[in-house]
Amino acid sequence: MRRKVTVIGAGNVGAAVAQYLAEDNICDVLLIDVVEGLPQGKALDLMQAGPIRGYDVTITGSNDFADMRGSDIIVHTAGLARKPGMSREDLQAKNAEIVGSVAEKAREYASNAIILMVANPLDVMTYHAYKVSGFPPNRVFGQAGILDSIRFRTFIGMELGVAQTETEAMVLGGHGDTMVPLPRYTTASGIPITELMSAERIEALSQRTIKGGGEIVALLKTGSAYYAPAAATVAMVDSVLNDRKKLYPCSAYLTGQYGISNIYIGVPAILGQTGVEKIIELKLAEKELKALQESASMYTKQLKELGY
């Protein structure tokens, strides 16, 4: 019996997640959306692409949350998309309502699943899902730093003229304007980028990474990014389903690491079959640690707005 991943939300991100999962041939996929016909139509379309794209998993669509029974992972992409001029934090109230409702359904129908949050504001929504679902914190985490890191990797590859696959990057902190790129832990073919480009160019690329989502929102005008967020999400799903123990920066629950407690924020974590299996504490410079703690402080304030 194949593993089952339920994707909540059949919009651009959810559909791209379903597509990438199918093309990896690693699980059956269920798309759930409240819009009648939308998940069913996209699922059928994806199924019909299988014979020529080389996958044979089952992809189904539903409007019934009870169908998430038996899910190994629930990927939550549903929520309002950002519009130009809108911050991730502007989305908080409406998306909290959506996330809370789905977390209740997860508790009812798939109490042994892992919840992977993709909806924004990411770190706040991940905490909200953790609280509402009642799941242990290792089984609730968010896709944050890995997306920011692959954006940083892309910009580094473009800057240096090297293959993007030869780059590695580490971006911590909240998935928003307070994220903390770490050039000291960012490399091209194992060489720290601090040896390959000037401090001014590193800062420019760091700032472009921080504004990376907003840059795409401004270009699209009627939506937000979905290919890269979906790719980052599927990498995390793969690490969990196949117990790969990959070390990814993701939104994880802290219990004193980096001097931060009782909050979800982007940190390096090992992802395996039980979810977040270990949080890695990097040796941060004083300035880096302060930036990470300030990022956490901002989300603490936003959680208070939700009653936490």
Q: Is the pLDDT of residue 69 over 80?
A: yes
Closest CA to 16 of 35, 3, 29, 2: 29
Residue 87 is predicted with a pLDDT of 65
Residue 84 is predicted with a pLDDT of 65
The domains located in the chain, with CATH, are 4-142 (3.40.50.720), 145-305 (3.90.110.10)
Task: Please indicate whether residue 76 is annotated as part of the active site.
Answer: no
Pairing status of strand 187-188 against strand 73-76: unpaired
* Interval 262-284: pLDDT, tens: 999 999 999 999 999 999 999 99
Bond prior to 39 in cis (omega within 30° of 0): no
Q: Is the pLDDT of residue 186 over 70?
A: yes
Global pTM reads 0.94
Closest CA to 287 of 206, 167, 196: 206
- The C-alpha angle 226, 231, 233, rounded to 5 degrees, equals 95
pLDDT band at 90 (very low <50, low <70, confident <90, very high): low
Residue 88 is predicted with a pLDDT of 57
Neighbours of 65 (CB within 10 A): 19
Residue 269 is predicted with a pLDDT of 97
Mean pLDDT of 219-239: 94
Residue 189 is predicted with a pLDDT of 95
* Interval 5-33: pLDDT, tens: 999 999 999 999 999 999 999 999 999 99
107-120 burial, b at 16+ Cβ within 10 Å, e below that, comes to eebbeebbbbbbbb
Mean pLDDT of 127-146: 96
Catalytic residue among 175, 210, 212, 260: 175
Half-sphere exposure of 95 (CA within 13 A, CB side): 28
What distance in Å separates the CA atoms of residue 299 and residue 279, rounded to the nearest whole number?
19
Alpha-helical runs (H) found in the chain: 12-24, 38-53, 92-109, 122-133, 145-160, 199-210, 212-220, 227-241, 286-305
Residue 81 is predicted with a pLDDT of 66
Residue 284 is predicted with a pLDDT of 94
Q: Is the pLDDT of residue 144 over 90?
A: no
Residue 92 is predicted with a pLDDT of 81
